[in-house]
A and B are shown apart, each in its own frame.
Chain A
Amino acid sequence: MTNGRLLSQEDISNIKLADLIESKKSTKRIQIMTHQILGYPDFETNYEMIKLFAKYGVDYVELQIPFSEPIADGPVFLKANQDALKNGVTVEQCFAFAEKVAAEFNIPFLFMTYYNILYAQGVEAFVKRSKEIGIKGLIVPDAYPEGSAEYFEACQKHGVDAIVLTTPYTTPERMEYLNSLASGFVYCVARKGVTGSKTKFDDATTEYIANCRASLDVPIGVGFGIQEREDIDYLAGKSDIAIVGSELLKVLERDGLAGVERLLAELTEEK
């Protein structure tokens, strides 16, 4: 909870994501980013979840705009994307909701979505609007760096961080290339596969994260398969941010908001 108080003292709207992450390092052994699929199960629940995130001092929140073809998402997020769309959730509603929570909560929000959602309204227009409503960064898993110059240029122009991803298969040469594009932080995908299944953190993961840390000039976040306190403890001291996604949604569906609160308490407890 110390973090919540700290943040409420200063307005984050003009602070760059990377600077914010750096500044928090002295007070937190690991920072946490959580995730919401907008409009699933509904915007009211999204709002209640974000209230809980704020209460437990979650540092960053990814807001995923649903897309009909979410190729990087596993079964839990896939179903959530599709159900949200079936319920009539629109990109416009997502922007309106994001604008509201970005104004109300002193948490940096990022949009996560797929390239076509940007493309449909014009990549630059999307980035510009995101900036205007207070979004700090974008995570677009199919914005393959070699083919998405338009996206990276628009983000740079409008001061929104385009979050690049690395994987355990990223070669040293490619790491260098990705580093040249990186801004905000780099999302280090912990393993192959889609979102939502357990990651076994072993020596190879440790080596991979250390390699990311050594090769990249911006802070790092590790995501994919982070499900429990043990995972957070493992990442503390190795990564700046632990990214928790599908597990929160699984718990919400199984145990409701009370279950989510228990999980957040466990994940964020200072030991």
Chain B
Amino acid sequence: MHKEGYFGQYGGIFIPEILYPAFQNLIEEYHKIKEDESFWNEFLHILQNFSGRPTPLTYASKLTEHFGKAKIYIKREDLNHSGAHKINNVIGQGLLTKRMGKTRVIAETGAGQHGVATAIMAAKMGLKATIYMGAVDVERQYPNVFWMKQLGAEVVAVESGQATLKDAINEAMRDWVSSFEDTHYALGTACGAYPFPEMVTYFQSVIGKEVKQQILTAEGRLPSRIYACVGGGSNAMGVFHEFLPSTEVELVGVEAGGKGEESGQHAARIAFKQAKVGVAQGYKTLFLQDHEGQMQETHSIAAGLDYVGVSPILADLHEQNRVRFEAALDHEVIEAVKLIIKQEGIIPAFESSHAFARAFAEIPNTSKDDIVVINLSGRGDKDIFNIAEGLQDDEWKTFIARRHQQYQAR
């Protein structure tokens, strides 16, 4: 029992005693559903009929031509209902919530995608939902807040700490210690105390399973390399998991380099080698922290990557040299967004565009025989305000000013 839930030296359970029954119950149910084929089938059935799975693996012909090197394929998690991979995990945890006989779900959200997905699931499955979101992120991602509320979820803006993702997680934990008897905490990423890292990976692994089948159909062989952005790590674990035994496939996790390695304004825990092993938010992993163990401020243009810790599974896979970690800077991400939109007619989320930015930087070193898969974890519609700002689009600014005047006139 003692080493259950560890991935190398990372993971584990570090929770207040009051949550003991909640975790015991969850671990037990998780083991049950893993053995139960009918659960996975029901899960897939909902994803197929509600969220449009399998999502396509799009051959990016123009980007491929543009770089003239490796063939580029894009896994289209942006085409999920709700616009991101987050729905996969949420449907799984929603079914689990029902099995446990609970009537309410709570969730944290950074970019708002997990919040929206949770609110959608709750509406569909007839559950009550409360979503915790850092006040800073509420401002950054208001369109998602609007939808969560329309979907009937309560949205709590968290003012404490840095008012971003980690603070939303703390606040959800504080809710859960009072509410666990009727409430499930649908954690959105492959982090937190066991079984969350493994369970979220389990639900998200549907991404990699599809990619494997799709690339074998299209190319008859596995890709040379797969890129995914890493905030907490759920989309990366989702696309990587199926390929872990296939060591000929290089796996690359791309973190938020923010304003650069020396800036102190980034969330590149592993790539910039600035994180240290620590224990917080219920688990042991690499955290960006000061020498006394206080968590440091993080920054990213993408709210969903702006997180102080990282999946313990990814921390371990990095240590085993199975996953390579890199970072993409804010300005590189904006350039990548422009290129993807113009070349492929796809509007990517800032989060996912980190994976593209790094892939684009490394493509010159590939050959025409290589196949590169990039996981497009979410669409960029939600980022319209931020992308417009990043692009310094004057027409958009004028439009917003005009709208503002209209509202004021009423």
Residues of A participating in the B interface, judged by any CB pair closer than 8 Å: 67-72, 74, 78-79, 82, 85, 90-92, 114-117, 119-121, 141-144, 146-149, 164-167, 169-171, 174, 189, 192-194
Q: Name the A residues within 8 Å of B278 (CB-CB).
A: 116, 119-120
**In B251-277, which residues have CB < 8 Å from any A CB?**
276-277
CB of B122 within 8 A of chain A? no
Nearest residue (CB) in B for A85 is: B294
Q: Which residues of A contact B281 (CB under 8 A)?
A: 69, 71
With A116-B279, A194-B174 already in contact, the answer to whether A82 and B161 are too (CB < 8 A) is yes
Evaluate contact between B289 and A120: CB separation under 8 angstroms. yes
C-alpha gap A193/B13 in the complex (Å)? 19
User: Which partner residue on chain A sits nearest B173 by CB separation?
Assistant: A71
B277 — which chain A residues lie within 8 A by C-beta?
119
Given contacts A67-B294, A144-B12, 4 further A-B contacts (CB under 8 A): A69-B295, A114-B280, A119-B293, A148-B14
Of the candidates B15, B282, B287, B292, the one whose C-beta lies within 8 Å of that of A117 is: B292
Cβ proximity bits B1-44 to A, threshold 8 Å, 1 near / 0 not: 11000000000111111101100000000000000000000000
A171 and B287 CA atoms in complex are apart in Å by 33
Partner of A91, one of B20, B174, B178, B292: B292
* 15 A-B pairs in the complex with CB atoms less than 8 angstroms apart: A68-B295, A69-B281, A92-B292, A114-B279, A115-B280, A117-B292, A120-B291, A142-B16, A144-B12, A144-B14, A146-B1, A146-B13, A147-B12, A193-B177, A193-B178
Measured CB to CB, the closest approach of chain B to A240, in angstroms, equals 19
Q: Is the CB of B282 within 8 A of A71?
A: yes
Are B282 and A120 interface neighbours, CB within 8 A? no
Known contacts A71-B170, A192-B177; is A120 also within 8 Å of B293 by CB? yes
In angstroms, Cα B170 to Cα A147, docked, is 20
A67–B287 Cα distance when bound, in Å, is 14
Task: Known A142-B14, A189-B17; judge A115-B282 contact (CB<8 A).
Answer: no
Q: Is the CB of B13 within 8 A of A147?
A: yes
B residues 147-177 in Cβ contact with A at 8 Å? 160-161, 166, 170, 173-174, 177
Q: Is B203 an interface residue (CB 8 A)?
A: no
Decide yes or no: A69 and B161 within 8 Å by CB, A120-B278, A147-B12 being known contacts. Answer: yes
Judged by a CB distance under 8 angstroms, whether B180 is at the interface is yes
Q: Are A141 and B177 in contact (CB under 8 A)?
A: no
Q: Is the CB of A68 within 8 A of B177?
A: no
CB of A143 within 8 A of CB of B14, answer: yes
Asked whether, in the complex, the Cβ of A116 is within 8 Å of the Cβ of B293, the reply is yes
Complex interface residues of chain B between 108 and 151 (CB less than 8 A to chain A): none
Annotate B180-198 by CB proximity to A: 1 below 8 A, 0 otherwise. 1100000000000000000
Query: Contact check: which of A72, A79, A90, A120 meets B177 at CB < 8 Å?
Result: A72
A91, closest chain B residue (CB): B292
CA distance A250 to B181 in the complex (A): 29
What's the tally of chain B residues with a CB closer than 8 Å to chain A? 36
User: Is B280 a contact partner of A116 (Cβ separation < 8 A)?
Assistant: yes
Could you tell me the distance in whole angstroms from the C-beta of B19 to the nearest C-beta in chain A? Answer: 9
Q: State which of B160, B279, B292 has its C-beta within 8 Å of the C-beta of A115.
A: B279
Chain A residues with Cβ below 8 Å from B161 are 68-69, 82
Q: Specify which chain B residues have a CB less than 8 angstroms from the CB of A147 in the assembled complex.
A: 2, 12-14, 284
Q: Least Cβ distance of B378 to chain A in Å?
A: 26
With A71-B282, A91-B292: A194-B17 Cβ-Cβ less than 8 Å? no
B17: A residues at CB distance < 8 A: 141, 144, 164-167, 170, 189
Question: Contact between A71 and B12 (Cβ–Cβ < 8 Å)?
Answer: no
C-alpha spacing A230/B374, complex, angstroms: 63
Taking the closest CB of chain B, its distance from the CB of A220, in whole angstroms, is 14
**Interface residue from B20, B178, B292, B293 paired with A174 (Cβ < 8 Å):** B20
Alpha-carbon separation in the docked complex, A203 to B1 (Å):
35
Collect the chain B residues with CB atoms within 8 Å of residue A149's CB.
2
CA–CA, A210 to B310, complex, Å? 43
| Nearest CB in chain A: distance from B314 CB, A | 19
A183 to B309, CA, bound (A): 33
B14 lies within 8 A of A117 (CB): no
Supposing A71-B170, A149-B2, A192-B180 touch, asked if A144 and B15 sit within 8 A by C-beta, the answer is yes
A123 to B, closest residue via Cβ:
B279
Judge whether A91 and B293 touch: CB under 8 Å: yes
With the chains together, A121 CA to B276 CA distance in Å?
Answer: 12
How many angstroms from the CA of A115 to the CA of B293 in the assembled complex? 9
The reply to whether B289 and A116 contact each other, CB–CB distance below 8 Å, is yes
Q: Which residue of B lies closest to A114 (CB)?
A: B280
**Are A82 and B160 closer than 8 Å at their CB atoms?**
yes
- Residues of chain A lying within 8 A (CB to CB) of residue B13: 144, 146-147
Min CB distance, A265 to chain B, in Å?
A: 32
Query: Given the complex, which residues of B lie within 8 Å of A121, measured CB to CB?
Result: 292-293
Complex contact B292–A120 (CB within 8 A): yes
Q: Which residues of B have CB within 8 Å of A90? A: 292
B34 to nearest A CB, angstroms?
21
Q: Give the residue name and chain of the A residue nearest to B1 (CB).
A: A146
Contacts A82-B160, A120-B289, A120-B291; A167 near B279 (Cβ below 8 A): no
Which of B14, B166, B174, B278 gathers most chain A CB within 10 Å? B14
- Provide the B34-73 mask, 1 if CB < 8 A to any CB of A, else 0: 0000000000000000000000000000000000000000
Q: Which residues on the B side are within 8 Å of A68 (C-beta)?
A: 161, 294-295
Which of B1, B17, B287, B292 has most chain A Cβ within 10 Å?
B17
Q: Which 7 A-B pairs have the closest CB atoms?
A: A120-B293, A193-B178, A115-B279, A116-B293, A165-B17, A91-B292, A68-B295
- Given the known inter-chain contacts A68-B295, A116-B293, A120-B289, please indicate yes or no for A169 contacting B21, CB distance below 8 A: yes
A147 to B4, CA, bound (A): 9
